[in-house]
Amino acid sequence: MGKDRLEGRRIVITGGASGIGLATARLFMAEGARVALLDRNEAALAAATTDIGAPGYCVDVTDEVSAQRALDNAERELGGIDGLVNSAGVSDDFRFDDLTVEQMKTVLDINLVSGFVMSKVVVPALRRNNGGTIVNIASGIGLRPFLPGQIAYATSKGAVIAMTKALAIELSPNVRVNAVCPGLVDTPMTDAWRLAPDDSRLKHYLLGRYAKPGEIADAILFLTSNESSFMTGSSLVIDGGRSLY
């Protein structure tokens, strides 16, 4: 493919300072897009924006007022918005007996509510440009939990999958909404497991390894580009075969 799959597209990426979000930003820019990064980690965001040469906005994307302000700034900077990637997220490892209501609410806020908030503020901008795309980062765990300690995460990501389908119905035909459902990915969020001497999670994966962030970014590119022009409401599973168990 040539360097034109996203030529002229203007994309906002939440959770853009690291991991899947930053890998997606790099790939999108290589394919001709202009991107704006949103993240709550100010230091990581400053490093990422300097590294790739894209504007960035430090923001809590669970807060509608702050998200709207950042979105307005990004729209002015980019000259419009054609797409959104909701990559902001948090993991957890709390078993039911230890999981508090506040911890549950925090995971739901960051993994689910942030995607709703960002979709809410970005859709008017997409409509001003006759439509666009939204890609949500869900998880294979949202389809099928497989270990204890995944209650909050599985619930939040399962809800992201359901929200993706419902948004696809409401925003059709001009805004396409899809999700990706990754398995384990080599990002800072999984360091505690990946760097452990005996990572028992890998025995559940047919490919026996973590995905690279760029492998997930490739799928996000597909769902953002015209190559997926007849897809909406879909959840693309990229989990190294884990869901076959």
pLDDT higher than threshold 60 for residue 1: no
Closest by CA to 171, choosing from 137, 143, 136, is 136
Selected residue with higher pLDDT from 23 and 197: 23
Close Cβ partners of 138 (under 8 Å, ≥ 6 residues apart): 157, 158, 160, 161, 164, 179, 180, 181, 235
Cα separation, 10 vs 16, in Å, equals 14
Confidence of residue 153 (pLDDT cuts 50, 70, 90): very high
Q: Which of 153, 205, 210, 245 is catalytic?
A: 153
pLDDT higher than threshold 80 for residue 221: yes
Considering only the C-alpha atoms of the chain, give the largest distance between any 2 of them, rounded to a whole number of Å.
52
The residue assigned the tokens 């959840």 is 235
The tens digit of pLDDT for each residue in 9-60 reads 999 999 999 999 999 999 999 999 999 999 999 999 999 999 999 999 999 9
Contact between residue 86 and residue 103 where contact means Cβ atoms under 8 Å apart: no
In this structure, which CATH number among 3.40.50.720, 3.90.400.10, 3.40.50.300, 3.40.640.10 belongs to the domain 10-244? 3.40.50.720
pLDDT higher than threshold 50 for residue 66: yes
For the residues of 69-81, what is the DSSP string, one character each?
HHHHHHHHHHTS-
pLDDT higher than threshold 90 for residue 157: yes
The tens digit of pLDDT for each residue in 178-187 reads 999 999 888 7
Selected residue with higher pLDDT from 243 and 166: 166
Is residue 245 part of the annotated active site? The answer reads no
Confidence of residue 118 (pLDDT cuts 50, 70, 90): very high
| Average pLDDT of the chain to the nearest whole number | 93
pLDDT higher than threshold 80 for residue 197: no
The tens digit of pLDDT for each residue in 75-107 reads 999 999 999 999 999 887 889 999 999 999 999
Query: What confidence score (pLDDT) does residue 3 get?
Result: 65
